[in-house]
A and B are shown apart, each in its own frame.
Chain A
Amino acid sequence: MNKIALQVDGLRKVYANGNIALHGISLAVPEGSFFALLGPNGAGKTTMINILADILHPGEGTMTLFGRDVFQEKSWCKRQMGIVPQEVAFDPFFSVREILNTTSGYYGCRPDRVWIDELLDRLGLTHQADKNTRQLSGGMRRRLLVAQALVHRPPLVVLDEPTAGVDVELRRRLWDFMRELNRNGATILLTTHYLAEAEELCDHVAIIDQGKLVASEPMQSLMHRVAVSRLVLRYAKPILISATDEAALTDFKPVILDEGLELHLELRRDEPGMSGFDVAYEAARNRFGPPLDAAVHQEDLEDVFVRLTGNTGAEGETHVQR
């Protein structure tokens, strides 16, 4: 059986102003997983991470890290995690290297120069090492935040939107680095609004919305359970759907678009003998003849996310009905 790195049970948090940020969330982050914690703005992701980080008072509920109580065995638990907070802030008195040395010390470690140099290199900060943090650009500061979380080589790495404001190249480098840490045994928990990245990187996913858990399972199982594939058929001339056609196709939830030139059919998952594609294609051809063009559209994590949260994502773009 898989061991659990972080177990959250019945976590509830009410802010001083009465805002209920978490309504009793329970989830488990398996050891060694690459875990995406997703949710629209204000879902409660940062609240949960900050409770774990001991920046916020816990409300009700428990958190267990590698089998130990996070709220009781604070000192031990804190050494097991490296947290990249969402908000970027630095001590203005110190240089990049001084900050990393100081953070090592806080975690009870002698500053490990070799490791710190490697972190600087992997995160593209080598040339900034002796600069004061005030001289860093926004993206560089976020990289420093990541380096800071890793100085004590924690077995659980928690990243609260680590790629916000980070350029493409570094985002790739960062993810490569996280993958490598993950391969070497670290558990990675991250939040992000770049759902394509989450889908590609993560093997587990939890989705929360308005402080409630919507889903928490392996990525594959979620996609298999919720993501829908559609057959998209284009016709030369507009097609007409009679009542009998409608009844025959009802299982496929037909949608007609583009003034009758396009037909969308949902593919059923398990069709003995034939693939879902063949079944739907046959059913349509029997009624409307051969189409001009046929394609399958497979929903991605973003579609699943939108469906489960009724939210169009945090990037502000509206979801296009296909």
Chain B
Amino acid sequence: MYSGNPRGAWTLFTREVNRFLKVKVQTIVAPALTAILYLVVFRYALGDRGVPGLGIDYFTFLIPGLVMMSMLQNAFANTSSSIIMAKVMNVHVYLLMAPLSAVEVVGAFIAAAVLRSMLVGAVLLLTLSPFVDLSPAHIWMILLYGICGSILMGGLGLIGGMWSKKFDDMSLINNFLILPLTFLSGVFYSVKQLPPLWQQLNAYNPFFYLIDGFRFGFLGVGDSDPATAAGVVVAAAILTVLACWYLWSIGWRLKE
């Protein structure tokens, strides 16, 4: 039986949610706006061009990928910025001091990241819905990939935050890892458009499966095999959570 501190975990979760809601323009509205700007730019730059091999127009192709990319980036930003800020201001000691187990801390942080990611996704889709047809092909796929992707990214953000000693370290991770991986994951192109070598490399990028699976949920077409994609994504999310749990429980880069 779970005999831990559910109220403690809930408190941490609500703290995390309040933290991003207090600056919601920056954490929810701004990311949605950025994604919409991308869409506007591509809409007019590319006109009605289609995506080779998929039989849909480029604009329709772009929407789910961009939504997912925003969601992933925001899930990552939520945990990573919370942890690095706490560390820099030395308030992480209150979390270490409190009777919260690693499961509770990791669970609360990731749950808040998932919520923020969902909110960003929902705001984006609601804003776009009057202009484009967003009726999903497989709603369960959307939820599966949306949630697993947010868990994965929330977890990676937690690890990134723990690893970072200062804000600079964090932007290093953001610019040299997260941004390239999300940009090169097939948000803006179909991997079938890539040279063979890159297509093969892509098979090892979990973000590719996230974006592709999410898009499949909306459009019913994709580049990867849905079963493989689902397997990779679920496994990656579980592994990340386990890593978070382990690292938090040993106080990795938090305790001397």
Interface residues of A (CB under 8 A from B): 15-16, 53-57, 74-76, 78-79, 83, 85, 87, 89-94, 102-110, 148
- B96 and A89 form a contact (CB under 8 A): no
Selecting from B2-10, B40-48, B218-226, the interface stretch reads: B2-10
Q: Residues 217-256 of chain B: 1 if any A CB is under 8 Å from the residue's CB, otherwise 0?
A: 0000000000000000000000000000000000100011
Query: Is B101's beta carbon under 8 Å from chain A?
Result: yes
- B97 and A90 form a contact (CB under 8 A): no
Residues from chain B with Cβ under 8 Å of A90 in the complex:
89, 91
Q: How far is the CB of B73 from chain A (nearest CB, A)?
A: 22
Residues from chain A with Cβ under 8 Å of B11 in the complex:
102, 104-106
Q: Within the assembled complex, what's the spacing in Å between the Cα atoms of A278 and B164?
A: 69
Which of B10, B22, B90, B99 is the one whose CB lies under 8 Å from A79? B99
Residues from chain A with Cβ under 8 Å of B91 in the complex:
89-91
Q: How far is the CB of A179 from chain B (nearest CB, A)?
A: 25
Residues from chain A with Cβ under 8 Å of B4 in the complex:
75
Q: Within the assembled complex, what's the spacing in Å between the Cα atoms of A110 and B7?
A: 8
Residues from chain A with Cβ under 8 Å of B94 in the complex:
91, 103, 106, 148
Residues from chain B with Cβ under 8 Å of A54 in the complex:
96-97, 255
Q: How many A-B residue pairs have CB under 8 A?
A: 78
Q: How far is the CB of B172 from chain A (nearest CB, A)?
A: 22
Q: How far is the CB of A157 from chain B (nearest CB, A)?
A: 13
Chain B 72-104 residues near chain A, CB threshold 8 A:
86, 89-91, 93-101
Apart from the given pairs A53-B93, A105-B8, 13 other A-B contacts in the complex at a CB distance below 8 Å: A55-B96, A57-B256, A75-B99, A85-B97, A91-B91, A92-B89, A105-B10, A105-B12, A106-B12, A106-B94, A107-B5, A107-B8, A108-B7
Known contacts A93-B22, A107-B98, A107-B99; is A57 also within 8 Å of B255 by CB? yes
> Which of B14, B99, B101 has its CB near the most chain A CB atoms (within 10 A)?
B99
Residues from chain A with Cβ under 8 Å of B5 in the complex:
75, 106-108
Residues from chain B with Cβ under 8 Å of A74 in the complex:
99
User: Which 9 A-B pairs have CB atoms at the shortest separation, nearest pair first?
Assistant: A105-B11, A106-B98, A78-B99, A89-B90, A75-B99, A108-B5, A53-B97, A108-B7, A55-B93
Q: Within the assembled complex, what's the spacing in Å between the Cα atoms of A91 and B92?
A: 9
Q: Within the assembled complex, what's the spacing in Å between the Cα atoms of A79 and B7?
A: 13
Q: Within the assembled complex, what's the spacing in Å between the Cα atoms of A103 and B12?
A: 9
Residues from chain B with Cβ under 8 Å of A94 in the complex:
18
Q: Within the assembled complex, what's the spacing in Å between the Cα atoms of A56 and B22?
A: 32
Residues from chain A with Cβ under 8 Å of B7 in the complex:
105, 108-110
Q: Within the assembled complex, what's the spacing in Å between the Cα atoms of A99 and B115?
A: 22
Which of B18, B95, B98 is the one whose CB lies under 8 Å from A93? B18
> Which of A79, A91, A104 has its CB near the most chain B CB atoms (within 10 A)?
A91
Q: Within the assembled complex, what's the spacing in Å between the Cα atoms of A79 and B101?
A: 12
Which of A55, A87, A104 is the one whose CB lies under 8 Å from B97? A55
Which of chain B's residues has its CB closest to A109's CB? B7
Query: Is B19's beta carbon under 8 Å from chain A?
Result: yes
Query: Is B166's beta carbon under 8 Å from chain A?
Result: no
Which of chain A's residues has its CB closest to B19's CB? A93
Which of B8, B19, B93, B98 is the one whose CB lies under 8 Å from A85? B93
Residues from chain A with Cβ under 8 Å of B101 in the complex:
75
Known contacts A57-B256, A102-B15, A105-B11; is A89 also within 8 Å of B98 by CB? no
Residues from chain A with Cβ under 8 Å of B99 in the complex:
74-76, 78-79, 106-108
Residues from chain A with Cβ under 8 Å of B8 in the complex:
105-108
Q: How far is the CB of B152 from chain A (nearest CB, A)?
A: 26
Residues from chain A with Cβ under 8 Å of B93 in the complex:
53, 55, 85, 87, 89
A sample of 21 inter-chain contacts (CB < 8 A) reads A16-B256, A54-B97, A74-B99, A75-B4, A75-B5, A75-B99, A78-B99, A83-B97, A87-B90, A89-B91, A90-B91, A91-B94, A93-B18, A104-B11, A105-B8, A105-B11, A105-B12, A105-B14, A106-B5, A107-B98, A109-B7
Which of chain A's residues has its CB closest to B4's CB? A75
Q: Within the assembled complex, what's the spacing in Å between the Cα atoms of A87 and B255?
A: 15
Q: How far is the CB of B91 from chain A (nearest CB, A)?
A: 5
Known contacts A15-B256, A75-B4; is A89 also within 8 Å of B97 by CB? no
Q: How far is the CB of B124 from chain A (nearest CB, A)?
A: 25
- B97 and A56 form a contact (CB under 8 A): no
Q: Within the assembled complex, what's the spacing in Å between the Cα atoms of A75 and B102?
A: 11
Which of chain A's residues has its CB closest to B97's CB? A53
Q: Within the assembled complex, what's the spacing in Å between the Cα atoms of A56 and B5?
A: 22
Residues from chain A with Cβ under 8 Å of B90 in the complex:
87, 89
Which of chain A's residues has its CB closest to B12's CB? A106
Which of chain B's residues has its CB closest to A50's CB? B93
Residues from chain A with Cβ under 8 Å of B12 in the complex:
105-106
Residues from chain A with Cβ under 8 Å of B96 in the complex:
53-55
Residues from chain B with Cβ under 8 Å of A16 in the complex:
256
